[in-house]
Amino acid sequence: YLFKLTPNNLFPALNAFGLDKFLKSIGRDPTYIDLEANPPVGKDQPPDLASLVPSGSTVLPDLPEKTPSQDSSGNHPSAGNNSTAVTAKADKPSNAVQNVKEKSVNGVRPLIPSTDAGKFVEELLDRTSTLLLSEISEDSIKRHGGQLGAEVANNIKKCLREDLKNLA
């Protein structure tokens, strides 16, 4: 046994087989390192743990840190136009919003696979482009006119929000 979850044994202990089975079920290969190794550590020398990782293990790339964009200052050219459009549309519900609700209820979509980042990004882009193309039609252009971009963006957010919440 590697460790026990509680001292009173209410939960089963996690063993190496169970850990291997769990890692394989989420798409990861089990890799073990020597936790009792004693790498040299000093004030100016951080521990080098790379030598402890087995050579056959998969190395995942570091995710880039999110940097604040220059557009976050709030100086968007269409920000003033959107606020008036939102207040005008608050009086009557939009047909496009009802269409989005019907699409999300009627068209059951499988969850986006989260085990591979590349597949996740491709699936997200495919779904976004499909939603974008389905939202833009001659009828919607006539209905929304200059506010079509904001309307389409809101509908896409509503559809993709459920998929992304399921992943969290």
Q: What percent of the chain has pLDDT over 70?
A: 48
List helix spans (H) across the chain.
16-25, 79-89, 95-106, 117-135, 138-144, 148-167
| Residues paired with residue 14 on neighbouring β-strands, in sequence order | 3
pLDDT in tens, 98-138: 444 444 444 445 555 556 777 878 888 888 888 888 888 88
Measured between alpha carbons, how far is 28 from 24 in angstroms, rounded to an integer? 5
Measured between alpha carbons, how far is 40 from 102 in angstroms, rounded to an integer? 61
pLDDT in tens, 144-160: 888 888 888 888 888 88
Closest CA relative to residue 143, chosen from 98, 102, 113: 98
The pLDDT assigned to 102 comes to 44
The pLDDT assigned to 136 comes to 81
Task: For residue 43, name the pLDDT band (cuts at 50, 70, 90).
Answer: confident
Distances from the Cα of 109 to the Cα of 15, 19, 43, 112, 168, angstroms? 36, 30, 53, 9, 17
